A and B are shown apart, each in its own frame.
Chain A
Amino acid sequence: MSFDLFDAEEKVLEQSDSLRGRLTDAPEEVRKGVDLLIEAFGRSVREQRRLVKVSDRLQAQLSSLNHELARRRAEAEQALSDLKAAQESLVQAEKLASLGALVGGVAHEINTPVGIALSCASHLADSTAQMRRLYEADDIGADEFDRYMATVTDGSDLILSNCRRAAALIGSFKQVAVDRTSAERRRFDLGATLNETMASLGPNLRQAGHEVTIECPSGLVMDSHPGALSQVLGNFVMNSLVHAFEPDQPGRITIRVDQPQPDQVRIVYADSGKGIPAQNRGRIFDPFFTTRRGSGGTGLGLHIVYNLVTGPLAGTIVLESSTLGTAFVLTLPVSVP
């Protein structure tokens, strides 16, 4: 059963045609006028049918476009959340990798004082064994005893100072390692954290003969995430080592801290390397942007830096680079909100 939406109009048209047939006696003027009216109404109904049809088609198109839009939007949102999850896991992997590098650095750094203490102890043992032989032979002269006493004094001093140094290093590494693996927020002395972090990176820097200067007002206490800050510095240093400094060319790294406002800390990390090419400066914080893909660059180092600075540290990061070197200016709240 087909139903005409314009049924009523068609009926009116039929009726008007039959009315028109009964107007034979009316003046020609009237008949012509009614003819015109009937024709105009018929045209109007046809026009309405056309308009409804066109309008329906447009509305159907609009509706399918809306559905398509909603579908694509859902797809894009899904893709975005997948990407975020992937980035998150890459960031976690990168954190673990840098913790591995830290452990390697720690082993290297502690090796020196432990090695010195070991050789001193072994020297002391040798000297003592010799003294024991002389003692058992009842043949210790005043000169030998003086020399032995000097050896014991120097040796035990060296063992003591190197063991203290090793203990201090282990203490600071422990803090850095704990901070790196936890996102904990705590109050910390900024100067001490900077020094501990740079000490943990020491082996990488010293091997190549780079010079590190830290200028930080003493007693500057922050209430923030020291682990994030330490990771940021670590990534800066790795970038300076890999990108800024030419091999066999000793460079200079300076970290300057000041307070533009009482509730703000400005940390300027600068190296004396060759700078970042102008065409790359806009992209260095983009995830996966790297100029060293072939040699193991992930392109995540500065992206992680950016996320840490703008995320947990609640601050801003600005790049200043020229052929004379690169500087990153971090502006952070003393106390994160």
Chain B
Amino acid sequence: MVSDSLKIAATERSPEIEFDFGQGTLRFRGESYPEDASAVFGPVFVALDRFLAEAGGRNVLAEFDLAYFNSSSAKALMNIFQRLDGAAAAGTPVSVRWLHAPDDDTMREFGEDFQEDLEHVVFTLVAAEPTD
């Protein structure tokens, strides 16, 4: 099961989501303001719970490259971070990369906010030009 992958294409209101179990990488890219955040993020929670249960000390990298998200997406992100921080506390090496456009202070500050609640993951803020 560990070789499974989850890939969800972006829509106008939801980000592209790539979860490569083999590499241990989880990526979000785009904007996130879906009508129903639990429908978009639900599959990620399920996959993440299953993956972390089986990760067994392997390196995990989560990358967030989001230009915009709404409040329920923020709540969903917080849930993801809690799961990651929990796994890191239990010994799985977890790194988080939070990407934001160099001139986007709002996204940088959101990254800093999330970082404050995380005690065990290695959190990196990355100022980078959008890829597309």
Q: Which residue of A lies closest to B71 (CB)?
A: A55
Q: Which residue of B lies closest to A6 (CB)?
A: B75
Q: Does B59 contact A (CB under 8 A)?
A: no
Given A56-B33, A59-B33, A63-B33, A5 and B70 contact (CB-CB distance below 8 Å): no
Question: Which residues of B are found within 8 Å of A55, using beta-carbon distances?
Answer: 70-71
Task: Quote the shortest CB–CB distance from B80 to chain A (angstroms).
Answer: 11
Q: Which residue of A lies closest to B45 (CB)?
A: A3
Question: Which residues of B are found within 8 Å of A52, using beta-carbon distances?
Answer: 71-72, 75
* A: number of interface residues (CB 8 Å): 17
Q: Does B79 contact A (CB under 8 A)?
A: yes
Q: Is the beta-carbon distance between B33 and A5 smaller than 8 angstroms?
A: no
Q: Which residue of B lies closest to A52 (CB)?
A: B71
Given A59-B33, A59-B70, A60-B70, A7 and B79 contact (CB-CB distance below 8 Å): yes
Q: Is the beta-carbon distance between A56 and B46 smaller than 8 angstroms?
A: no
Interface bits B70-87 vs A (CB < 8 Å: 1, else 0): 111001100100100000
Q: In the assembly, what is the distance between CA of A53 and CA of B72, in Å?
A: 7
Contact of B38 among A3, A53, A63 (CB under 8 A): A3
4 tightest A-B CB contacts, nearest first: A3-B42, A55-B71, A3-B38, A59-B70
Contact of A60 among B33, B38, B75 (CB under 8 A): B33
Q: Does A1 contact B (CB under 8 A)?
A: yes
Interface bits B25-41 vs A (CB < 8 Å: 1, else 0): 00000000101011101
Given A59-B33, A60-B70, A5 and B75 contact (CB-CB distance below 8 Å): yes
User: 8 Å CB contacts to B: which residues of A53-80?
Assistant: 53, 55-56, 59-60, 63
Q: Is the beta-carbon distance between B38 and A4 smaller than 8 angstroms?
A: yes
Task: Quote the shortest CB–CB distance from B106 to chain A (angstroms).
Answer: 13
Q: Is the beta-carbon distance between B37 and A5 smaller than 8 angstroms?
A: yes
Question: Which residues of A are found within 8 Å of B76, using beta-carbon distances?
Answer: 5
Q: In the assembly, what is the distance between CA of A3 and CA of B39, in Å?
A: 7
Q: Is the beta-carbon distance between A3 and B33 smaller than 8 angstroms?
A: no
Q: Is the beta-carbon distance between B38 and A56 smaller than 8 angstroms?
A: no
Q: Does A218 contact B (CB under 8 A)?
A: no
Q: Which residue of B lies closest to A53 (CB)?
A: B72
Question: Which residues of B are found within 8 Å of A4, using beta-carbon distances?
Answer: 38
Contact of A51 among B37, B39, B71, B79 (CB under 8 A): B71
Q: In the assembly, what is the distance between CA of A242 and CA of B69, in Å?
A: 64
Q: Is the beta-carbon distance between A3 and B70 smaller than 8 angstroms?
A: no
Task: Quote the shortest CB–CB distance from B86 to chain A (angstroms).
Answer: 10
Question: Which residues of B are found within 8 Å of A279, using beta-carbon distances?
Answer: none
Q: Does A249 contact B (CB under 8 A)?
A: no
Q: In the assembly, what is the distance between CA of A14 and CA of B2, in Å?
A: 32
Q: In the assembly, what is the distance between CA of A2 and CA of B40, in Å?
A: 10
Q: In the assembly, what is the distance between CA of A2 and CA of B71, in Å?
A: 18
Q: Does A142 contact B (CB under 8 A)?
A: no
Q: In the assembly, what is the distance between CA of A4 and CA of B38, in Å?
A: 6
Q: Is the beta-carbon distance between B33 and A2 smaller than 8 angstroms?
A: no
Question: Which residues of B are found within 8 Å of A137, using beta-carbon distances?
Answer: none
Given A52-B71, A56-B33, A59-B70, A1 and B79 contact (CB-CB distance below 8 Å): no
Given A52-B72, A60-B70, A2 and B38 contact (CB-CB distance below 8 Å): yes
Query: What are 10 sample pairs from A and B whose C-beta atoms fall under 8 A apart?
Result: A2-B38, A2-B39, A3-B41, A3-B42, A4-B38, A56-B33, A59-B33, A59-B71, A60-B35, A60-B70
Q: Is the beta-carbon distance between B72 and A2 smaller than 8 angstroms?
A: no
Q: Does A8 contact B (CB under 8 A)?
A: yes
Task: Quote the shortest CB–CB distance from B7 to chain A (angstroms).
Answer: 18
